[in-house]
Amino acid sequence: MAKVELKQPIVNEIKELLTDAQSAVLVSYRGISVEEDTAMRKELREAGVEYKVYKNTMIRFAVKDTEFEPLTADLTGPTAIAVSKTDATAPARILAKYAKNIEVFNLKSAVVEGTFYDKDGVQVIASIPSRDELLAKFLGSIQSPITNFARVIKQIAEKDGDAPAEEAAEAAE
């Protein structure tokens, strides 16, 4: 069996992983401890992010002629790839948190919703809150003025409602 036939299933696996992906982030994982790696993988899994280590040449073949092709420039040294199909910022956000605490763990680059970002761009993407957090903030900002308006109306109604009741009580005496 030729080497190409042995490697083709791995390349197909990577292609499948990247199909319909919203984002892919490359990291240099050299020097991360087992405990840190286990905690990071658990957090990534809970966020719906696939985190895999492949040979750089396999990733290079898989991303050829796709929107993820710009990542090939950073496929040097030990490289892992984190891919999300649901939350575009989740891989960058979680990996940046660990990169901040672990000196040897570095973000390389990313493609988020078809746009390539270098190391600094990935840091900016990582600072963006998740979609759920943004929706919660938006709904909170909409709800706040309405709630305040309702409180004022209620206070006015209570104030005006108390006055006729007191007058009626005084008239009855």
* Residue type at position 68: F
Per-residue confidence band for 81, with pLDDT thresholds at 50, 70 and 90: very high
Ranking 11-20, 60-69, 143-152 by mean pLDDT, the lowest is: 143-152
| 74 pLDDT higher than 90 | no
Indicate the pTM of the whole model. 0.71
> For the segment 107-129, what is each residue's pLDDT rounded down to a tens digit?
888 888 888 988 888 888 888 77
Spell out the long-range contacts of 71-74 with Cβ–Cβ below 8 A and sequence spacing 24 or more. Answer: 71/24, 71/26, 71/109, 71/110, 71/111, 71/116, 73/109, 74/26, 74/108, 74/109
Residue-averaged pLDDT of the chain: 83
